């Protein structure tokens, strides 16, 4: 409108001004910059270093292998845990009594079981998947051969190394503790039912099946990871 006055503060006149202000960093405290994303375009989106300079940042074979292994194991663990968690919750929704040896719990309490247990399963799932990457990184830092021996990493040697990694991962992963989950569930149920409740073996059986399935999946997919690691080892564009 003619003659109208922009009453906004003089320091902020447009969205682009806001964006420019957000992208103005204090040079005395420079932010951490991802080498792959070191600049921003006019729309505020990051531009890769490849587009800026035509080159990729230096990446060692060990770095690439670590990233590939972490992704492989995170996806596999997440898939197995998700499948078994869904089976447990579906069973409880259809028939909550399967968790207990006695069905003498009031319905209004019994049908809260999927909610209580679902929260425990979700928290355990998140914690377990988040622990995979640090376990892989620590194991690789301790066991991965130096660059001098990389040429000796044949597919057979790589397979043996990964089998040992699988065993280490299974020994350190903290899956759902059926005893802890059952005790917590009993505590919740006791708030609304005075019946004597005996924890059943349902959760223990479910966790046992989950562990067995995870071992099987780790073993069955080791060949895929062997090929992935071996391809990284042979990649001439990666530094040793």
Rounded CA gap, 52 and 146, in Å?
33
Helix (H, G, I), strand (E, B) or coil at 220: helix
pLDDT at site 13: 44
CB 14 within 8 A of CB 20: no
Rounded CA gap, 81 and 53, in Å?
42
Q: Running DSSP on this structure, what letter comes out for residue 40? A: E
Torsional sign, CA 128, 133, 139, 143? positive
β-bridge mates for residue 39, sequence order: 47
To the nearest 10°, the Cα dihedral for 17, 18, 23, 24? 70
Could you list the pLDDT tens digit for every one of the 240 residues in the chain?
555 555 544 444 444 443 444 444 343 444 444 443 444 455 554 444 444 445 555 677 788 889 999 999 999 999 999 999 998 888 877 776 666 655 555 566 777 777 888 888 888 899 999 999 999 999 988 988 776 677 678 888 889 999 999 999 999 998 888 877 877 777 777 776 655 455 557 788 888 899 999 999 999 999 999 999 888 888 766 666
pLDDT at site 12: 42
Query: Structure tokens of 34?
Result: 């991802």
Q: Running DSSP on this structure, what letter comes out for residue 27? A: T
pLDDT at site 189: 72
């Amino acid at each position: 409108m003619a003659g109208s006055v922009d009453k906004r503060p003089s320091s902020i006149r447009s969205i682009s001004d806001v964006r420019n202000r957000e992208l103005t960093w204090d040079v005395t405290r420079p932010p951490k910059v991802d080498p792959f994303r070191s600049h921003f375009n006019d729309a505020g989106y990051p531009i890769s270093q490849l587009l800026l300079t035509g080159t990729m940042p230096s990446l060692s074979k060990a770095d690439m292998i670590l990233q590939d292994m972490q992704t492989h194991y995170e996806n596999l663990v997440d898939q197995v845990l998700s499948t078994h968690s869904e089976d447990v919750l579906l069973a409880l929704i259809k028939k909550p009594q399967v968790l207990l040896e006695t069905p003498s719990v009031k319905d209004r309490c019994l049908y809260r079981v999927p909610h209580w247990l679902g929260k425990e399963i979700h928290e355990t799932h998140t914690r377990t998947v988040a622990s995979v990457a640090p376990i892989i990184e620590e194991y690789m830092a301790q066991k991965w051969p130096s660059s001098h021996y990389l040429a000796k990493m044949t597919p057979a040697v790589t397979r043996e190394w990964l089998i040992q990694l699988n065993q280490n991962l299974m020994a350190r992963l903290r899956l759902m503790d059926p005893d802890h989950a059952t005790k917590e569930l009993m505590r919740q149920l006791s708030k609304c039912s005075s019946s004597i409740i005996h924890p059943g073996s349902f959760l223990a059986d479910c966790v046992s099946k989950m562990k067995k399935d995870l071992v099987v999946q780790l073993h069955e997919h080791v060949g895929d990871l062997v090929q992935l690691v071996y391809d990284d080892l042979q990649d001439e564009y990666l530094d040793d």
